[in-house]
Amino acid sequence: MLKLVFLSFLLLILTCNASVQDFCVADLMGPESPSGYTCKSPANVTATDFVFTGFRKAGNTTNIINAAVSPAFDAQFPGLNGLGVSIARLDLAPGGVIPMHTHPGASEVLLVVQGSIVTGFISSANQVYVKKLLKGDVMIFPQGLLHFQINGGGRTAVAFASFGSPNPGLQITDFALFGNKLSSALVEKTTFLDDAQVKKLKSVLGGSG
Residues belonging to the chain: 209
Q: Which are the contacts of 153, defined by CB distance < 8 A and separation ≥ 6?
A: 94, 115, 116
CA–centroid distance for 100 within its chain: 14
Q: Decide: is 56 part of the binding site for ligand NAG (CB under 6 A).
A: no
Tell me the site size for ligand NAG, rule CB under 6 A: 5
- Phi and psi, residue 102, nearest 5°: -135, 155
Annotated binding residue at 129? no
**96 or 120: CB nearest ligand NAG:** 96
Is residue 2 exposed (0-12), middle (13-18) or buried (19+ Cβ within 10 Å)? Answer: exposed
Closer to ligand NAG by CB, 44 or 127: give it: 44
Give the interface segment with ligand NAG, choosing from 37-45, 85-93, 110-118, 178-186 (CB under 6 A). 37-45
62: contact with ligand NAG by CB under 6 A:
yes
Q: Is 147 annotated as a binding residue?
A: yes
Work out whether 41 is an interface residue with ligand NAG (CB under 6 A): yes
Minimal distance, residue 44 CB to ligand NAG, in Å: 4
> Is position 60 an interface residue for ligand NAG (rule: CB under 6 A)?
yes
Instruction: Give the largest Cα separation in the chain, rounded.
Output: 88
Query: Site for ligand NAG (CB under 6 A): which residue of 2, 4, 20, 43?
Result: 43
Q: Is 62 annotated as a binding-site member?
A: no
| Angle separating helix axes 184-191 and 195-205, nearest 10 degrees | 110
- What distance in Å separates the CA atoms of residue 67 and residue 151, rounded to the nearest whole number? 9
List, as residue ranges, the binding site: 101, 103, 108, 147
Binding residues for ligand NAG, per CB under 6 A?
41, 43-44, 60, 62
